[in-house]
Chains A and B, each alone.
Chain A
């Protein structure tokens, strides 16, 4: 496709007219209908790029070397282009049609006529997408003309008014030196040949042109041709798909060029020559994408969609946007590597991304923010959750204050009925939670179920106690009947217990000495109707359990008792035993109960109930051992 000495020819011709660069765009080998980089020659000085005079001072070698670099760069782009895993460009990088990048050459090819663009740097980027680059490289004039099934693009840093003789001159020089056997009017040939391949291209471009020309004040030698417009009408859905493919390719193109740019920042101008297309695509505002589908035939399936996105404002040229683009191009060029990585990252994954490109004004399907509190949950977390904890704090203080008989701060309690109610509920919930954890086989979480299960569990325990009592009662009746009737109905009252047991049992005194405080609870064995009332006593205080028992001394009895006690998984750290009158007196004390049940002080708040359950269990086991 590209003649071997094309580069030399480009170099020759570009230097012959003292212009800055020449690019030969040719029909892509891999994608018919698409123009791609054929050959290029840069004829400028990077640092003094304003002086076109310096061009000739550059040695051929350097010039060709640079061109080679351009070629290398493009090779890498091309590899990416044909690689199977082409990824769709990221939403982050406003996917842009490659045809747009090649718009100027593309249109030239489509029409087979030269296009002369002055003030390239100030051209709207939608017309000449590399205008941004042109700006940074001070390129003023750009000329595109069809040549050899391709397009030659020339640019210079000087303002050159339209002069077809220049084109003629170059064309001639090419034709002479290349000895190609193309007709003298390549444009005409191309026109017919490309009609098919490029119809969609023409459709895009020319449709654009119609919209933009009246608004943008730059010089385009050729305005929309009727041919192009008619092509536009012929555009089919199928072509749209092709168009999509191109977009995808351009995404890859971008990735590659970014990488290269990162590597060759020093060669900034060179690289940007090629990659500026990509960059400006990248940064082109989303409106641009929007207006492309707008050109669709409204009757096609996408019509609705494009209509929906149709925003009259989008086609307006915003004078600010150019500056903005320029800034962004520069910042993109100068970005640190990790940003590029991020860009690549976003780009690479776009195909699978959940995110879509952000659009000004938002997509239509986005819900309007609902009325009501904003940041509802965040505020609850920050403002109300701490209050919940504080309620717990106050509640606990109230309890402490009550216990210590201190005056409770007025502002901390009951000022607000709602608050106290909430507190009460929190307290209840906490207790229910504890209760739930105490009873096995809780089926459901709701409060009624918890209570039901607790009732059931208690009944079950009572029944078992009854059975045990009955068994004991029979034996007791047979052995001795020393209990008084009053004792049988004795209940877990400290007073009764003290009164009665003080007389009989010195151990009771010991327990008193050990200081059961007012929050402590005890349960004694006289819950059992029958004898041996004081043979086993289980008492509890704030943080310990004390078991006192007396039983006939038999070998192995002690081990038996300890085994039974240990089955409760309670650590007992003190065991005193004495033998007297053939009886074994045993006092067992537990360690800190915190490890036994739960750290939560609320366990205690459940009162005698829970402790009763525990103690009854202990009693039951010990009785079984004794008897």
Chain B
């Protein structure tokens, strides 16, 4: 293992690279040094690998004993907001895994199935763990619904038909407020206290251009960001001005794959795209007619598929391209 961790230190003093045996898609930072990586193999058997990141020694050490098999590629990985021992994955079901350091193993803790009639529920495209109320997870599904889970009781708190088409991503804003994006091209906000109504705060310009990802600015809840299918734009929305985006970040030269707000600052957002670049943007208080330029950039060897900003080490951003994960110092 020591050898492996040395091997993983391909980077210089400001980045660390980990080369996985498999292509990587899912990626998650925990509230500690733990990092989870999900493989993307177009087959039944997939893996979730657990690593430890040490920013002091710039090392990434894999924990093979904590890694586990996953049926089909996980569509998203996410750690419990405060506990690095609980990991959730989505795919056919929402699954909770417990990483046990004591026994050096990972155990499937529970599997959430909201279908009463069969062993299968509609596949999940994404989920979000409520950072204010960790007992809640919201999942988005291709069956146009969003499901809110009560984790302790392993029950469906509520299920909403959220969109007209597949729901592709979901994000919590407050303990009871979440938003979702869909193939129907809309961003909608839901409040669990009033399940009858949702608010459409954005619709893609060409009707039915699917919106693929959504990120809610946890430092300033007025803002969220979304990306469109086959678009190089990151659309910044202000929930106070529905339907009119406050900004289009369009300096990527190919379609955007991932977005993440800075965990510690309210006006910074990072994005990664097919143009192999990861950009960091600072939203100005006044928009310029010529558009907004990113403040800095990083070029990867190939298309960047995933990007996460570490809440534990806010000066580190992780990107995934091909079968590599790279941690970049900001």
The chain A residues found within 8 Å of chain B, CB to CB, are: 90-93, 320, 324, 327-328, 330-331, 334-336, 338-339, 341-343, 345-346, 349, 352-358, 360, 362-363, 365-370, 374-382, 384-390, 392-393, 396-397, 426, 429-430, 433, 601
Most chain B CB within 10 A, of A345, A386, A397, is at A386
Known A375-B274, A396-B118, A429-B44: A386·B296 in contact at CB below 8 Å: no
Query: B197 on the interface (CB 8 Å rule)?
Result: no
Known A382-B168, A386-B142: A355·B40 in contact at CB below 8 Å: no
Known A352-B329, A358-B297: A345·B286 in contact at CB below 8 Å: no
Selected contact of A385 from candidates B14, B123, B303, CB within 8 Å: B123
Residues of B within 8 A of A92 (CB): 280, 282, 295-296
A386 touches B329 (CB 8 A): no
In the complex, A388 Cα to B282 Cα: how many Å? 39
A358 touches B295 (CB 8 A): yes
In the complex, A75 Cα to B284 Cα: how many Å? 30
**Which B residue's beta carbon lies closest to that of A320?**
B290
B290 touches A346 (CB 8 A): no
B266 touches A339 (CB 8 A): yes
Residues of B within 8 A of A388 (CB): 42, 72, 123
B315 CB → nearest A CB, Å: 5
In the complex, A600 Cα to B274 Cα: how many Å? 38
Residues of B within 8 A of A367 (CB): 275-276, 299, 302
Residues of A within 8 A of B251 (CB): 358
Selected contact of B295 from candidates A91, A324, A380, CB within 8 Å: A91
In the complex, A357 Cα to B279 Cα: how many Å? 10
Most chain B CB within 10 A, of A334, A370, A381, is at A381
Residues of B within 8 A of A430 (CB): 44
B320 CB → nearest A CB, Å: 9
* Other A-B pairs, 9, CB within 8 Å; known A331-B286, A353-B296, A396-B120: A324-B288, A342-B264, A353-B329, A368-B253, A378-B213, A378-B305, A385-B72, A385-B75, A430-B44
A145 CB → nearest B CB, Å: 37
A354 touches B279 (CB 8 A): no
A354 touches B298 (CB 8 A): yes
Interface size class of B (residues with CB under 8 A): 35 or more
B282 touches A342 (CB 8 A): yes
In the complex, A330 Cα to B282 Cα: how many Å? 15
**Which A residue's beta carbon lies closest to that of B285?**
A331
Known A330-B286, A374-B274: A363·B305 in contact at CB below 8 Å: no
25 contacts between A and B (CB under 8 A): A328-B284, A328-B286, A334-B285, A338-B219, A338-B265, A339-B265, A339-B266, A342-B265, A356-B296, A358-B294, A358-B296, A368-B253, A375-B229, A376-B303, A381-B73, A381-B125, A382-B168, A385-B72, A385-B75, A386-B123, A386-B124, A386-B142, A388-B42, A397-B118, A429-B43
The chain B residues found within 8 Å of chain A, CB to CB, are: 13-15, 23, 25, 40, 42-45, 72-73, 75, 91-92, 118-120, 122-125, 142, 166, 168, 212-213, 219, 229-230, 251, 253-258, 262, 264-268, 274-280, 282, 284-286, 288-290, 293-299, 302-303, 305, 314-315, 328-330
Known A349-B329, A389-B92: A381·B280 in contact at CB below 8 Å: no
A325 CB → nearest B CB, Å: 10
Known A338-B219, A349-B315, A385-B72: A377·B43 in contact at CB below 8 Å: no
B73 touches A352 (CB 8 A): no
In the A-B complex, the 10 residue pairs with the closest CB atoms: A369-B254, A386-B123, A342-B265, A374-B255, A354-B328, A355-B296, A389-B123, A92-B295, A331-B285, A389-B92
B280 touches A375 (CB 8 A): no
Selected contact of B279 from candidates A358, A380, A433, CB within 8 Å: A358
In the complex, A24 Cα to B13 Cα: how many Å? 42
A522 CB → nearest B CB, Å: 25
A432 CB → nearest B CB, Å: 9
A339 touches B230 (CB 8 A): no
B141 CB → nearest A CB, Å: 8
A330 CB → nearest B CB, Å: 7
B254 touches A378 (CB 8 A): no
B290 touches A324 (CB 8 A): yes
**Which B residue's beta carbon lies closest to that of A348?**
B315
A369 touches B274 (CB 8 A): yes
Selected contact of B298 from candidates A349, A355, A379, CB within 8 Å: A355
A345 touches B92 (CB 8 A): no
Residues of A within 8 A of B213 (CB): 378
B110 CB → nearest A CB, Å: 12
**Which B residue's beta carbon lies closest to that of A341?**
B265
Known A389-B92, A390-B123: A366·B118 in contact at CB below 8 Å: no
B235 CB → nearest A CB, Å: 15
Selected contact of B293 from candidates A346, A360, A390, CB within 8 Å: A360
Residues of B within 8 A of A335 (CB): 267, 285
In the complex, A392 Cα to B93 Cα: how many Å? 12
A377 touches B257 (CB 8 A): yes
B109 CB → nearest A CB, Å: 14
Residues of B within 8 A of A389 (CB): 72, 91-92, 120, 123
Residues of A within 8 A of B280 (CB): 92, 346, 355
In the complex, A338 Cα to B279 Cα: how many Å? 20
A352 touches B120 (CB 8 A): no
A357 touches B295 (CB 8 A): yes
Selected contact of B14 from candidates A324, A354, A360, CB within 8 Å: A354
B286 touches A370 (CB 8 A): no
In the complex, A354 Cα to B277 Cα: how many Å? 12
Selected contact of B212 from candidates A90, A355, A363, A378, CB within 8 Å: A378
In the complex, A91 Cα to B279 Cα: how many Å? 12
B296 CB → nearest A CB, Å: 4
A358 touches B293 (CB 8 A): yes
Residues of A within 8 A of B14 (CB): 352-354
**Which B residue's beta carbon lies closest to that of A426?**
B44
B125 touches A386 (CB 8 A): yes
In the complex, A384 Cα to B127 Cα: how many Å? 17
Residues of B within 8 A of A392 (CB): 92, 120
Selected contact of A91 from candidates B91, B253, B276, B296, CB within 8 Å: B296
A346 touches B257 (CB 8 A): no
**Which B residue's beta carbon lies closest to that of A335?**
B285
In the complex, A354 Cα to B55 Cα: how many Å? 14
Residues of A within 8 A of B293 (CB): 358, 360
**Which B residue's beta carbon lies closest to that of A369?**
B254
